[in-house]
Amino acid sequence: MKKMKKRSLFFTVIMYSIIFLLLFPLVILFVWSFTKNWPWPNIVPKAFGLRAIKYVFSPTSKSLKTLLFSVWLSSVVTIITLFISIPAAKALGLYKFKGKRLFKLLILAPIIVPPVAVSMGIHVTFIRLGLANTFLGVVLMHIIPCIPYGVRILTNVFEIIGESMEMQARVLGANPYKTFFYITLPMISPGLVSAGSLIFIVSFSQYFTTFLIGGGKIVTFFMLMFPYIQSGDRMMASVYSLIFILTSLVLFVVIEKTVKAYYKAENYFYI
Amino acid sequence: MKRLAVILLTLVLALNLAACGNQQTKQQASVLEKDWETILKEAKGTKVNFYGWGGSQMTNSWIDNYLAKRLKEEYDITLNRVGMDIDSILNIMLNEKQMEVKEGTIDVVWINGENFFTAKENDLLFGPFTDKLPNFNKYIDKDSVEVKYDFGFQVEGYEAPYGKAQFVMIHDKARVDKVPVNHEELLQFVKNNPGEFTYPAPPDFTGSAFVRNIIYDIVGYEQFLDMEPKKEVVEEAIKPAIDYFKQLKPYLWKEGKTYPATIAQLDNMFADKEVVMTMSYNPNHVVSKKQTGEFPETASSFVFDKGTIGNTHFLAIPHNAPNKAGALAVINFILSVEAQASKYDPNNWGDLPVLDNDKLNEEEKEVFSKIKIGEGAIRQDVLLEHRLPEMPANLIPIIEEIWMENIPAKGE
């Protein structure tokens, strides 16, 4: 008993240090959001101001409108990518076929090949197809780097849960649709949440591809933020980054809670 | 099924191209032949997409709050600013050109220098359009070198001046007693204050301008204006300057072993009091940085006695701009006394006006002279007295290369 306690204390310390290491940069971002200047050797900033906050919330900067649009865009990308990923992941996770390893490797290609080179070519093709500068075009472009994450995570999930439960359902007379909605979906839902979160972040932080394919007609939140990071305006960059992080965080928590409540699932999430 | 899809796609494609093709040729041929009244009428109620660098909050605010608002009131034009770096913009324009897209996305693009050269060489621009603009004809000195040439390239009416910039040095009065006014004094200053000065490594835009400015200060600027863009020639000409940089190096921040990669980094180092000087290609930079609270109140700008490099930034219209009439109306409005004065006001942006002082009447001159320039900035007439022309753009990469080969690596 005593030993257990000691061990748990040790883990508590480790856990809190990791949490601290993760959260501390966020605190710095928060402080910088209100900091006019912070010269060496001051430990706290010298002057505070609301310039960046005021700018972000002023209607002419269109920041919040763009934020909502970005969330919508990335949600669409996430849902489509998940739809594509589920069957692919099931095949890769459960079935045996020739060249499976090769396929598993090929799935990673969008991460390995530099996106800049590929997207230039895609842009040319999209112009020809009339997809450049459209919402649909940007969604399609985002799906490409998202798919590896979706498929790889769900493949692991399918490998873990196996096929036995589905087979049992089929044996008991459920049709394939019923099996999917009542057995497979609840079982992979934790995996869906983690895959979805990652896909959302990847899509949410696409910069160059959105620029190129969207041609400035499709403006995402990251595109507003990036010029400020480049030009070294730390106050603006911090406010935008903070909103960027908080948005994804809030979204994930809400989705996780909803999914958990819906399936009354006790099992852990693979986040 | 597959075949059906292919046929459908081909059909969509063909229709698309055909549809774009028709519209465009009609507009293209006519917009420059129409009189100004008709152009304004056509521009009314339309949307104009304005593409350009979006990294300065003050510039963005000026476009969103002043320019967009006034254009709506005056011409019922909706201005849509898209903040995008020029490389991406050129990428889009080049790809669109390659695919012969007849109706693009960009109406007005903020451009100059090499990028203008690239755009013009590749026939990406619409024009010549400047003599169509009433305000250009009325207020701009068409024979001035700064309007006719952009980094040594002939403009030929393919872009209209937007504003002027000039290189200035920025120092903190609280920590620098006497500012160095030429390269020798700078060397002395840096020797006396080792580790307190540095400059961004070229090809950073501002760092590269600093290097050119030092070159001008040492060997003069005249010889560069028509210099052959050959490495040996340039190397020979700037040898004294390269020697100077070698002399300067050990006394720089981190002993010159490393340099800030961007001017943004140097600005932040200055704000954090790591160094005592920074520099800018925008003479009012110090004012806006003080307004945002990033720079200390004691920050102030200065120029070298022999002068500093100045350039003009421009507005152009892509050859496939969907709303050329609207673009012309917007550019014309930007060339008005009202817009240039508002842009010059350091509370809004602080960008130098491009209008020719001799062409303004008393009332209009009054508008400009009433504007208070910010604390720490240099008066416009002083700047103009110390203004040197920018080098031809094709020499710049050569100089950056020579700097790269000689300065960072050697002496380790």
- CB of B110 within 8 Å of a chain A CB? The answer is no
Same domain flag for B186 and B294:
yes
Could you tell me which residues are beta bridge partners of residue B316?
Answer: B109, B159
Report whether A217 contacts B51 (CB < 8 A): no
Among B84, B85, B293, select the one facing A37 at the smallest CB separation.
B293
- What is d(CA A159, CA A95) in angstroms, rounded to the nearest whole number? 10
Contacts of B6 in chain A (CB under 8 A): none
Which residues, 6+ apart, have CB-to-CB distance to A159 below 8 Å? Answer: A93, A94
Same domain flag for B114 and B179:
no
Same domain flag for B305 and B315:
no
Which residues, 6+ apart, have CB-to-CB distance to B33 below 8 Å? Answer: none
Q: Check A228 against B57: CB less than 8 A apart.
A: yes
Concatenated DSSP letters for A131-197? -TTSHHHHHHHHHHHHHHHHHHHHHHHHHHH-SHHHHHHHHTT--HHHHIIIIIHHHHHHHHHHHHH
Contacts of B51 in chain A (CB under 8 A): 216
To the nearest whole Å, the CA of A156 is away from the closest chain B CA by 33
Same domain flag for B346 and B265:
no
One-letter amino acid identity for B28?
Q
CA angle at residue A22 from A147 to A142, to 5 degrees?
20
- CB of B101 within 8 Å of a chain A CB? The answer is yes
Q: Check A232 against B262: CB less than 8 A apart.
A: yes
In B, minimum Cα distance to A208 occurs at B88
Torsion A260-A262-A265-A271 (CA) sign: negative
Contacts of B106 in chain A (CB under 8 A): 215-216
Contacts of B262 in chain A (CB under 8 A): 230, 232
State the residue for tokens 């700097």: B403
Among A127, A133, A216, select the one facing B84 at the smallest CB separation.
A216
End-to-end CA distance of chain B: 67
Q: Check B91 against A120: CB less than 8 A apart.
A: yes
User: Testing the interface with B: which of A211, A218, A222 to mutate, by most B Cβ within 10 A?
Assistant: A211
Q: Domain ranges in chain A? A: 1-49, 59-263
Q: Check B95 against A128: CB less than 8 A apart.
A: no
- Residues, chain B, total? 412
Same domain flag for B140 and B231:
no
Quick check: helix, strand or coil at residue B315?
Answer: strand
Report whether B154 contacts B146 (CB < 8 A): no
Same domain flag for B252 and B398:
yes
- Domain holding B365, by residue range, is 35-164+311-377
Same domain flag for B258 and B399:
yes
Quick check: helix, strand or coil at residue A113?
Answer: coil
- What is d(CA A252, CA A198) in angstroms, rounded to the nearest whole number? 10
pLDDT of A1 strictly over 70: no
Q: What is the pLDDT along chain B (412 residues), one digit of tens a residue?
A: 555 565 555 555 554 544 444 444 444 456 888 999 999 999 999 999 999 988 888 899 999 999 999 999 999 999 999 988 888 899 889 988 988 888 888 999 999 888 999 999 999 999 899 999 999 999 999 998 889 999 888 999 999 999 999 999 999 999 999 999 999 999 999 999 999 999 999 989 899 999 999 999 999 998 998 899 999 999 999 999 999 999 999 999 999 999 999 999 999 999 999 999 999 998 988 988 898 889 999 999 999 999 999 989 999 999 999 999 999 999 999 999 999 999 998 888 888 999 998 999 999 999 998 888 888 888 888 998 999 988 888 899 999 999 999 998 654 4
In B, minimum Cα distance to A218 occurs at B82
Q: How many CB pairs under 8 A join A and B?
A: 112
Q: Check A230 against B264: CB less than 8 A apart.
A: yes
Report whether A45 contacts A36 (CB < 8 A): yes
Q: What is the CATH number of the domain that holds B109?
A: 3.40.190.10
Cα B103 to Cα A6, A30, B18: the distances in Å are 71, 44, 11
- CATH fit for domain A59-263, picks 3.40.50.10490, 3.30.750.24, 3.40.50.300, 1.10.3720.10: 1.10.3720.10
Report whether B121 contacts B90 (CB < 8 A): no
Measured from the Cβ of residue A99, the count of other Cβ atoms closer than 10 Å reads 9
User: Testing the interface with B: which of A32, A40, A48, A60 to mutate, by most B Cβ within 10 A?
Assistant: A60
Dihedral angle computed from the Cα positions of residues B262, B267, B269 and B274, in that order, rounded to the nearest 10 degrees: 130
Which residues, 6+ apart, have CB-to-CB distance to B35 below 8 Å? Answer: none
Among A217, A224, A230, select the one facing B105 at the smallest CB separation.
A217
Dihedrals φ, ψ of A47, to 5°?
A: -140, 140
Spatial CA neighbour of B19 closest among B101, B106, B123: B101
Half-sphere exposure of B295 (CA within 13 A, CB side): 29
Which residues, 6+ apart, have CB-to-CB distance to A199 below 8 Å? Answer: A77, A78, A81, A82, A146, A149, A150
Could you tell me which residues are beta bridge partners of residue B279?
Answer: B169
Q: Check A227 against B51: CB less than 8 A apart.
A: no
Same domain flag for B360 and B305:
no
Q: Is beta strand B168-172 parallel, antiparallel or unpaired with respect to B387-389?
A: unpaired
pLDDT in tens, A156-197: 999 998 888 899 999 999 999 999 998 899 889 889 999 999
Report whether B318 contacts B24 (CB < 8 A): no
Report whether B397 contacts B239 (CB < 8 A): no
Q: Is beta strand B47-52 parallel, antiparallel or unpaired with respect to B78-83?
A: parallel
- CB of A42 within 8 Å of a chain B CB? The answer is no
Confidence of residue A73 (pLDDT cuts 50, 70, 90): very high
Q: At what angle do helices A2-33 and A234-263 cross, to 10 degrees?
A: 130
Report whether B50 contacts B80 (CB < 8 A): yes
Q: Which tokens in the block code for residue A207? A: 């910069």
DSSP at B67: I
In A, minimum Cα distance to B68 occurs at A60
Could you tell me which residues are beta bridge partners of residue B389?
Answer: B310
Burial of B3 (0-12, 13-18, 19+ CB in 10 A): exposed
To the nearest whole Å, the CA of A71 is away from the closest chain B CA by 19
Q: Check B264 against A40: CB less than 8 A apart.
A: no
In B, minimum Cα distance to A42 occurs at B272
pLDDT in tens, A9-64: 899 999 999 999 999 999 999 999 999 888 888 888 988 999 899 999 988 888 99
User: Testing the interface with B: which of A43, A66, A127 to mutate, by most B Cβ within 10 A?
Assistant: A127
Predicted pLDDT at B18: 44
In B, minimum Cα distance to A129 occurs at B13
Tell whether B25 is covered by a domain: no
Tell whether B5 is covered by a domain: no
To the nearest whole Å, the CA of A7 is away from the closest chain B CA by 44
To the nearest whole Å, the CA of B83 is away from the closest chain A CA by 7
To the nearest whole Å, the CA of B294 is away from the closest chain A CA by 5
Q: Is beta strand B387-389 parallel, antiparallel or unpaired with respect to B308-316?
A: parallel
Report whether B305 contacts B182 (CB < 8 A): yes
Which residues, 6+ apart, have CB-to-CB distance to B10 below 8 Å? Answer: none
Q: How many domains does chain B have?
A: 2
Q: Check B16 against A123: CB less than 8 A apart.
A: no
- What is d(CA A19, CA B124) in angstroms, rounded to the nearest whole number? 52
Predicted pLDDT at A267: 54
Residues 67-126 of A with CB under 8 A from B: 120, 123-124
One-letter amino acid identity for A35?
T
Same domain flag for B184 and B247:
yes
- CB of A45 within 8 Å of a chain B CB? The answer is no
A47-55 contacts: CB < 8 A, separation 24 or more? A47/B293, A49/A235, A49/B292, A49/B293, A51/A235, A51/B57, A51/B292, A51/B293, A52/A235, A52/A236, A52/A238, A52/A239, A52/B57, A53/A239, A55/A236, A55/B57, A55/B61
Could you tell me which residues are beta bridge partners of residue B80?
Answer: B49
Which residues, 6+ apart, have CB-to-CB distance to A226 below 8 Å? Answer: A207
Among B16, B53, B293, select the one facing A36 at the smallest CB separation.
B293
Concatenated DSSP letters for A18-71? HHHHHHHHHHHHHHHHTEEE--TT-SS-SEE--HHHHHHHSGGG-HHHHHHHHH
Contacts of A221 in chain B (CB under 8 A): none
In B, minimum Cα distance to A62 occurs at B64
Half-sphere exposure of B341 (CA within 13 A, CB side): 16
Same domain flag for B199 and B304:
yes
